[in-house]
Amino acid sequence: MASTIRLFVDHPLGQAQTVPLSSAQAHYLFGVMRRGAGEVIEVFNGRDGTWTAEVIEARKKAGVLACVEQIAPQRNAPDVWLLFAPIKKQRTDFIVEKAAELGAARIVPVVTEFTNAERVRQDRLQAHAVEAAEQCGGNYVPEVADATKLPDLLDGWDASRRILFCDEGRAGAADVLSGLPAGPWAILIGPEGGFSDRERARLHSIDHAHPVSLGPRILRADTAAVAALTLWQQALGDWT
Q: Binding residues for ligand SAH, per CB under 6 A?
A: 166-168, 170-171, 189-190, 192-195, 213-215, 218-219, 221, 224
Torsion on CA atoms 23, 26, 32, 37, rounded to nearest 10: -160
Contact criterion met (CB below 8 Å) for 160 and 183: yes
Q: Which is nearer to ligand SAH, 8 or 195 (CB)?
A: 195
Q: Which is nearer to ligand SAH, 127 or 171 (CB)?
A: 171
Q: Which is nearer to ligand SAH, 11 or 200 (CB)?
A: 200
The nearest distance, CB 87 to ligand SAH, in angstroms, is: 8
The nearest distance, CB 162 to ligand SAH, in angstroms, is: 16
The nearest distance, CB 218 to ligand SAH, in angstroms, is: 4
Q: Which is nearer to ligand SAH, 125 or 224 (CB)?
A: 224
Q: Which is nearer to ligand SAH, 51 or 185 (CB)?
A: 185
The nearest distance, CB 113 to ligand SAH, in angstroms, is: 11
Q: Which is nearer to ligand SAH, 151 or 215 (CB)?
A: 215
The nearest distance, CB 191 to ligand SAH, in angstroms, is: 6
Q: Which residue is nearest to ligand SAH (CB)?
A: 190
The nearest distance, CB 239 to ligand SAH, in angstroms, is: 20
